[in-house]
Structure 1
Amino acid sequence: MSVLIAVTALPCGLLIGLLLGALGGGGSVLAVPALVYLLGQSPHAATAGALVVVAVGAVSGLACHARAGRVRWVAGAAFGALGTAGSFTGSRWSASVPPGVLMAAFSGLMLVVAVGMVMRGNRGNRDGRRAAAEETGAVAAAGAAGTATAAGSVRPAEPERSKRSKRPERSKRPREWATGAVSLWDAVRTSSGRRTAARASRDSGAGSHRTRPLRTVVTASAVGLLTGFFGVGGGFVVVPALTLVLGLEMPVAVGTSLLVILINSGAALATRAGTGSLDWPLLATLAACAAAGSSLGNRLAGQLRPQTLTTSFAALVTVLALAMAATTLPSL
């Protein structure tokens, strides 16, 4: 590995890790274009080497999610094991595909990733606005209940009394306001209880999700096939699959998907181990920079707007996909 390639690998790895840490997935799709167009690797070597970067990123992310209790080890291991056959098939199939066809198909995959990221960002914005509207409505209803109670507790006007007789009336005002405050608190607590009950009902519904064995096997095999053929983690596919097929909640699905990605990447890398030589110093440098960038991305995620990050990433992936298609399609 030359000094120029090593210097080029540093910002590439940092960018990939930064996107992985800030967006929680999708950044590994940039590893193959970086290895091919910037680091001088062949398409087949790039799809194999990208698995190393994906595996390292999955290990570092899995450790963080495991400490937070967001990994379902049995479900993730079973789903990943079911995908190893697809990963093996995808790896063998990718080795027999011409390089131009492989890169053209990869450009199509990048467009799919960009569209998926935009849709996920829009869905997150809608959910956030809906939750904010529910909170605003609950607070408004609670405020109205408290105002009505405070108004009802005011007594009618009484005949004019002496200054000495007015003192007890003045001392009763804090008691009236206290009554209104208690009513306001009761309304807020009732509204909060209703939301908690609704959330518990949804959680129990998710927990009682009925798993279909055939659907699970087909989905896991498709995820493994994608990982083996393109050399990507496939988190943009694994997370929805775990949510829809196994009924996992989104945070748990994100953490468990890293275990699935690690298993599929390991199986695909083992399948490709004897098909060609890998530039291990280059891959180690790229993976180490990606791990450092992922840590930085986790810190920046809370300081930047998710919509801005998602839109910028989708725009970058779209531009790269169109450039790759313009380069590879005419030569087919």
Structure 2
Amino acid sequence: MPLLLPVAAGLALGAVMGLLGGGGGVLAVPILLALGLSLDAAATTSLVVVGVGAAAGLATHARGGRVDWVIGLMFGALGSAGAIAGSRLAFAVDDRVQLAGFVVLLALAAYGMLRGRSESSPEDDDKPLPDPNWAVVVLLASGVGLVTGFFGVGGGFIAVPALVLALRMPMRRASATALVVILVNVTVAFLAHGTEHVDGGLTAVVAVGTAVGAVLGAVLQPRIPSAALQRTFGVLLLVVAAYQTAQLVLA
């Protein structure tokens, strides 16, 4: 396989993560499938790639002061049990059932992001959040962890809408904070999945590209209006949902 393809895939995945704080996982699985991996291998490999991208983007966002560490770590920690349960469940469920559930979640998340409107400014990123409903936080965090383990994704495509729509977090701050959630969840999910299905060489190449792309995306993010970021996130989810639907129908 030409080296350019996995490098380009990694750069694209990382740029999406750095800009939007999510979406890398939902893109990683179909891209890795297109690179020739099986569904189990793509799901496990995506955890490594997304984790590396999340760490690289997070470092850049943290220097810009856009990360809410308390919410991010709490969301990630509460989701850990769900990530383990989801990983175990993934190997017991038919692939078509997994893909169908994936499409439904993508569509729901896209609807929430496109229906809502973020009009926050960069100054809003420094404002304190209203006191969250902790019961809602627990349920959302557990659900994000379950999705991470079950579908082999970082959970950002669910975490970002949850932080924006349920906790009223500004889009830039939510996308940066979601990388904390992703990093915790993919680490736990990877430990549950194990290394049996990982292609070391391909994973390393894609991961390096993802790290570079994530840093570039995080650097560019403050220059883009938050409403545009939110709409882009919603459209991205719809595109991936359409692609996965086509895969499901044609399989």
TM-score, normalised relative to structure 2: 0.81
Residue 75 of structure 1, CA deviation: 3.8
Q: Match for 1:41 among 13, 37, 40?
A: 37
Residue 256 of structure 1, CA deviation: 2.8
The residue number in structure 1 matching 2:213 is: 293
SS of equivalent to 1:96: coil
| Equivalent-residue separation in structure 2 for 1:320 and 1:277 (angstroms) | 23
| Equivalent-residue separation in structure 1 for 2:169 and 2:235 (angstroms) | 30
Residue 236 of structure 1, CA deviation: 3.4
Q: Would the aligned equivalents of 2:56 and 2:212 in 1 still touch at CA under 8 Å?
A: no
Unaligned stretches of 5+ residues in structure 2: none
Residue type of the partner of 2:158? V
The residue number in structure 2 matching 1:225 is: 146
SS of equivalent to 1:28: helix
- Structure showing greater radius of gyration is 1
The residue number in structure 1 matching 2:55 is: 59
Matched residues, number: 248
The residue number in structure 2 matching 1:155 is: none
**Residues 99 and 256 from structure 1, CA distance in 2 versus in 1: closer, same or farther, beyond 3 angstroms?**
same
Instruction: Give me the identity figure in percent.
Output: 42
The residue number in structure 1 matching 2:18 is: 21
Q: Deviations over 1:182-240 (max 9, x none)?
A: xxxxxxxxxxxxxx9xx9xxx56x35x1543x333222111100111112222232234
Residue 65 of structure 1, CA deviation: 2.4
Q: Would the aligned equivalents of 1:111 and 1:318 in 2 still touch at CA under 8 Å?
A: yes
Residue 285 of structure 1, CA deviation: 0.9
SS of equivalent to 2:93: coil
Q: Would the aligned equivalents of 1:115 and 1:314 in 2 still touch at CA under 8 Å?
A: yes
| Equivalent-residue separation in structure 2 for 1:7 and 1:34 (angstroms) | 14
| Equivalent-residue separation in structure 2 for 1:255 and 1:323 (angstroms) | 26
The residue number in structure 2 matching 1:80 is: 76
Residue type of the partner of 1:106? F
Q: Deviations over 1:235-271 (max 9, x none)?
A: 2322343456667555444333222211111000000
CA RMSD of aligned residues (A): 3.2
Residue 102 of structure 1, CA deviation: 2.1
Residue 109 of structure 1, CA deviation: 3.5
Q: Would the aligned equivalents of 2:29 and 2:42 in 1 still touch at CA under 8 Å?
A: yes
TM-score, normalised relative to structure 1: 0.63
The residue number in structure 2 matching 1:179 is: none
The residue number in structure 2 matching 1:261 is: 182
For the pair 1:278 / 2:198, whether they are aligned, the reply is yes
Q: Would the aligned equivalents of 1:26 and 1:236 in 2 still touch at CA under 8 Å?
A: yes
SS of equivalent to 2:14: helix
Residue 54 of structure 1, CA deviation: 1.4
Q: Would the aligned equivalents of 1:26 and 1:113 in 2 still touch at CA under 8 Å?
A: no
Q: Would the aligned equivalents of 1:55 and 1:262 in 2 still touch at CA under 8 Å?
A: yes
SS of equivalent to 1:83: helix
Residue 58 of structure 1, CA deviation: 1.2
For the pair 1:32 / 2:25, whether they are aligned, the reply is no
The residue number in structure 2 matching 1:329 is: 249
Residue 307 of structure 1, CA deviation: 6.7
Residue 22 of structure 1, CA deviation: 3.2
**Residues 70 and 312 from structure 1, CA distance in 2 versus in 1: closer, same or farther, beyond 3 angstroms?**
closer
For the pair 1:105 / 2:101, whether they are aligned, the reply is yes
Q: Would the aligned equivalents of 1:44 and 1:99 in 2 still touch at CA under 8 Å?
A: no
